[in-house]
Amino acid sequence: MSTTSTLNPPALNPVSLRQDAGVIGLVGLAHMISHFSQLLLAPLFPWLKDEFAVSYAQLGFLMTIFFVVSCAVQALSGFIVDRFGPRPILFVGLSLLGIAAFGYAASTSYWMLAAFAVIAGIGNGVFHPVDYTLINRKVSAPRLGHAYSFHGITGSLGWALAPALLVPLALLFSWRVALMAAGALAFGVLVVLMLNGSKFDLPVAPAKPAGPQAAAESSFAFLRIPAVWMCFLFFFLYAVIISVVQAFAPEAARKLHGVPMTLAAMCLTVYMVCSAGGMVLGGFLASDPARCERVVGIGFGVAALVALLIGFGPVPALAVPALFGVMGFATGISGPSRDLLVKKSTPENATGRVYGIVYSGLDIGQAVAPLFFGTLMDHGQYRGVWLGLIATQGLLVLSAFNVRKVRRTRLAPAWPLARQSERKPSNLP
């Protein structure tokens, strides 16, 4: 088998740009709603804090509930996607996100919010196994880097859209109206995807080999690959970084540098928009799989230096949103290469399972981080928030290079294809 077919087995025949673009666009649209729904509550914390008389730590616990549930569902849904295909799982996930948004809007107690956080977590948990199964099996190999780039861009735009949409609606009307608008958006995207459902049909997977090798290829054999678990750790650290930036870093920067409330509210949107811009460049850098670890290391190294400046430097208040933008751009550049790290460690026909396990690290990180950093915020430890962010960025740089080192570990004979995917495919630019 050629290395090209190993990287993207279904793309044995040339695939048109229009066909690839259709899949990439629709998957990206779904991914945007997933990320948008992750931030339905965080931008509304000031309103929810007063409405339900709770602390930042209690509000952070809602995020913990969401991501703990999402983590469990994500690990399980990878197996379901590999068994039944991505289309029905995607539609169920989007439906649950819409239901949860309307449920948040109707909540009359903190525990009602918690119950709908469970529903939202179930819906959110299906997206990465679905998305990466579709991208890796339907997009041609030469366009994989750009597919990862667009996927990351839409995720960042989803995060940017949440505060940009919810906060103005909450100011003009109420936080309940803002959440109802979010639910309407989720169901609107669901309708679009259902009308284009045929684009989510997968080609027939290659038949599994018969004999002893087939017996060895159990559904859980991929768990023996050390690089899978190193990728899991990498995404755990990445999730902590994103959680801090989304929920606490803007407010911590406001307290440290006297940033006006309007500018502080812009920080997250600026970060996410600039991150999306960085991913455009990152898509070209990811065209060479051999340099993906270096791209990730440099990107997050620069982001750590900017965080050090914000947290401990004499920064003018007006410069804080711009520095968030620089930090976001540096992080965004590494996004497509980050996804390629996982692709290079993924055996054929186990995409859903591997991405379900690896990306559950995202949910665990985003479940743990709000508890720790929310407590720091409640105690006024604003520099502590930035110190924790800097330390996590440094650890992530080290873990990126460890993925490459661990991937060289001799794999079980049942998974020779995982080693082949290390090589640069011949038809990548």
The answer, yes or no, to whether residue 186 has pLDDT greater than 90, is yes
Q: Which two tokens mark 299?
A: 């990107």
205 found inside a domain: no
Task: Kindly state whether residue 194 falls inside one of the protein's structural domains.
Answer: yes
Q: How many C-alpha atoms does 225 have within 13 Å on its Cβ side? A: 32
Token pair 């949860």 is at which residue? Answer: 100
pLDDT of 381 over the 70 cut: yes
Taking residues 149-162, what's their average pLDDT?
83
Evaluate if pTM is beyond 0.85.
no
Q: What is the CATH number of the domain that holds 52?
A: 1.20.1250.20
d(CA 112, CA 123): 17
The number of distinct structural domains making up the chain is: 1
The 3 state secondary structure assigned to 159-226 is HHHHHHHHHHHHHHCCHHHHHHHHHHHHHHHHHHHHHCHHHHCCCCCCCCCCCHHHHHCCCCHHHHCH
Residue 204 lies in a domain: no
Residue 227 has pLDDT above 60, yes or no: yes
Spatial separation of the C-alpha atoms in residues 246 and 397, rounded to whole Å: 20
Residue 169 within any structural domain of the chain: yes
Pick left, alpha or beta for residue 294 (phi over 0 → left; psi -120 to 50 → alpha; otherwise beta): alpha
- Structural domain harbouring 137: 18-199+223-420
- Specify which of 109-118, 154-163, 283-292 reaches the highest per-range mean pLDDT: 109-118
pLDDT band (50, 70, 90) for residue 415 = very low
Dist. CA 221–CA 240, nearest whole Å: 28
Q: Would you place residue 191 in the very low, low, confident or very high pLDDT band (cuts 50, 70, 90)?
A: very high
Local confidence band at 351 (pLDDT 50, 70, 90 cut-offs): low
Residue 350 included in any domain: yes
Please check whether residue 149 lies inside any domain of the structure: yes
Provide the residue count of the chain: 429
pLDDT given at position 220: 63
**Residue 213 is assigned to a structural domain of this protein:** no
Q: What is the pLDDT of residue 242?
A: 85
Does 425 map to a domain? no
Over residues 220-235, mean pLDDT: 71
Q: Supply the pLDDT for residue 224.
A: 66
- Ranges of H-type helices in 8-143: 17-38, 45-52, 56-84, 86-106, 110-124, 127-138
- Residue 152's CB is within 10 A of a number of other CB atoms, namely 28
CB 132 within 8 A of CB 237: no
53, with CB counted inside 10 A (0-12, 13-18, 19+), is: exposed
Query: Cα dihedral sign for 236, 241, 246, 247?
Result: positive
- How far apart CA 213 and CA 174 sit, in angstroms, is 60
What's the rounded Cα separation, in Å, for the pair 11 and 292? 22
